[in-house]
Amino acid sequence: MPGKFNPTQCEALTMVCAQVMGNHVAITVGGSNGHFELNAFKPMIANNLLHSLRLLGDAFASFKKNCMTGIQANRERISKLLHESLMLVTSLKPEAALKLGMQTSEEFDTLVVPKKMIGPSD
């Protein structure tokens, strides 16, 4: 398929996250099963914690090296998607507000800025 990229790094990171979540469940269960101030699950807790830390460290290093390094935004494509987004159709159509006399064209242009609608505001 033209333009397709291989998402192996994203998939690997997702699998690592699933394993870490599983380790977290085991740690939680182990932590809740202490009897008489003695927790026989401490070896399992320590093992799963260390396993998760190693997995996360290795996965982040691999993700950075094989996926993040050198990545650049395709500003032309982003702009095209922004200006052709169906999600913005309603807010970008000033006719109703103008016909009802609720806003002037200048007020609409001041309030409705697509760039402010696609990300966090300052």
pLDDT along the chain (122 residues), means of 10: 70 96 96 82 96 97 90 88 71 72 84 72 66
Q: What is the pTM of this model?
A: 0.60
What distance in Å separates the CA atoms of residue 97 and residue 73, rounded to the nearest whole number? 35
What distance in Å separates the CA atoms of residue 81 and residue 114, rounded to the nearest whole number? 11
pLDDT at 24: 98
pLDDT at 28: 95
How many helices (H) does the chain have, and how many strands (E)?
Answer: 7, 0
Answer whether 59's CB lies under 8 Å from 13's CB.
yes
